[in-house]
Structure 1
Amino acid sequence: KKYSTENNIPTVILLGRPNVGKSTLFNRLIGQKLAIESVAAGTTRDWREFVVEKKDKTFKLIDCAGLEKVKEPMFKDIELMLDRLVKSADLLLWVVDGALGLDNQDRALIAKVRSYNKPTWVVVNKCDNAQRLSESEKEFEELGFQHVILLSALHSKNVHTLWHELTDWLEDFEKNPIEQTKNQALKFSIIGRPNVGKSSLLNALLKFKRSVVSDIPGTTRDSVSVEVNSEALDWRDSDPIVLNFTDTAGIRRKNKITGNIENDSIKQAIEVMEESEITLFVMDAQEIISKQDLHVAGLAHKMKKSIIIVVNKWDKILAQKKSKSDSELQSKFINRLLVRAKFLKSCPIIFTSAATNFNLEELSELLQLMWLSRNVEIENKILDRFVSKCQFPILKRISKIEQISTNPPTFMIYNIGLFQTVEINQLKNAIRETFDLFSTPIKIQFFESEE
Structure 2
Amino acid sequence: MDKTLKKIALIGQPNVGKSSLFNRIANKRIAIVSDMAGTTRDIRKHEIEIMDRKALMLDTGGIDETNDAIFSNVKRKAIETAKEADIILFMVDGKNIPDDKDKELFYELQRLGKELALVVNKIDNDKELERLWEFFEFGIGDENLFGISVSHNRGTKNLFEWIYQHLPVNLETVAREEAEALKKQREEDFDFDDEDYSSEEIENITDDNNKEVDENKINVAIIGRVNVGKSSILNAILGEERSVVSPIAGTTIDPVDESFEYKEKQITFVDTAGLRRRGSIEGIEKYALMRTKEMLDKANMALVVLDASRELTDLDEKIAGLVDEYGLGTIIVLNKWDENMDTFQKMEEEIRRRFRFLSYAPIIAVSAKTGRSIERLKEKIIEIHNNYIQRIPTSQLNRVIEEAVSRHSLPSPNGVYLRIYYTTQFDTRPPRIALVMNKPNLLHFTYKRYLINYLRDNFNFEGTPIHVIARGKNDKIGDEEYLERDR
TM-score range, shorter chain: 0.5 to 0.7
Q: Using a 3 Å threshold, how does the CA distance of structure 1 residues 377 and 341 change in structure 2: closer, same or farther?
A: closer
Q: Aligned pairs, how many?
A: 259
2:401–2:451 contact (8 Å) kept in structure 1: no
Check conservation: 1:432, 1:440, Cα contact below 8 A: no
Residues of 2 paired with 1:303 and 1:358: CA distance?
29
User: What is the correspondence of 1:245-284 to structure 2 with a 5 Å cutoff?
Assistant: 245-259=269-283, 261-284=284-307
What is the match of residue 365 of structure 1? 379
Q: 1:305 to 1:383 in 2, by over 3 A?
A: same
Q: 2:214 & 2:233 partners in 1: Cα distance?
A: 23
Q: Counterpart of 2:455 in structure 1: which amino acid? A: I
Which of 431, 437, 462 is the aligned partner of 1:409?
431
What CA deviation, in whole Å up to 9, does each residue of 1:232-291 have, x standing for no partner? xxx3xxxx23221101001112112112x1111110011111221111000111100001
Specify whether residues 251 and 392 from structure 1 end up closer, same or farther in structure 2 by C-alpha distance, changes over 3 A only.
farther
Distance across 2 between alignment mates of 1:219 and 1:258: 13
Unmatched runs of 5 consecutive residues or more in structure 2? 1-124, 126-148, 154-212, 412-417, 475-487
Q: Deviations over 1:34-55 (max 9, x none)?
A: xxxxxxxxxxxxxxxxxxxxxx
Partner of 1:429: 453
CA distance in 2, matches of 1:271, 1:280: 16
Check if 1:351 corresponds to 2:365: yes
Contact 2:215-2:389 at 8 Å conserved across structures: no
- Larger RCO of the pair (alpha carbons < 8 Å, separation 6+): 1
Q: 8 Å contact 1:283–1:309 — kept in the other structure?
A: yes
Look up the equivalent residue of 1:310 and give its one-letter code: V
Specify the alignment match of 1:299 in structure 2.
Answer: 322
Report the equivalent of 2:389.
Answer: 375
Aligned partner of residue 343 in structure 2, secondary structure: helix
Aligned equivalent of 2:237: 205
Cα deviation digits, residues 90-124 of structure 1 (max 9, x gap): xxxxxxxxxxxxxxxxxxxxxxxxxxxxxxxxxxx
Partner in structure 1 of residue 409 of structure 2 = 393
Identity %: 32
Show the counterpart of 2:345: 331
Give 1:189's aligned amino acid: A
In structure 2, relative to structure 1, the CA distance for the partners of 1:209 and 1:183 (3 Å cut) is farther
Residue in 1 that maps onto 2:54: none
CA distance in 1, matches of 2:379, 2:444: 36
Paired with 1:221 and 1:305, the residues of 2 have a C-alpha distance of: 23
Distance in 2 between residues matched to 1:405 and 1:366, nearest whole Å? 22
* Cα deviation, residue 393, structure 1: 3.0
- Contact 1:432 1:439 survives alignment (8 Å): no
- TM-score where L is the length of structure 1: 0.54
Question: 2:103 — aligned with what?
Answer: none
- Once the two structures are TM-superposed, the CA of residue 225 in structure 1 deviates from its matched residue by 0.7
Aligned to 2:464: 440
CA distance in 1, matches of 2:265, 2:215: 12
| 432-441 vs 186-195, greater mean Cα deviation | 432-441
RMSD: 2.7
Q: Name the SS of the counterpart of 1:213 in structure 2.
A: coil
Distance 2:317 2:470 in 1: 32
Corresponding letter in the other structure for 2:281: I
- The residue identity in structure 1 corresponding to 2:432 is T
Distance 1:220 1:371 in 2: 26
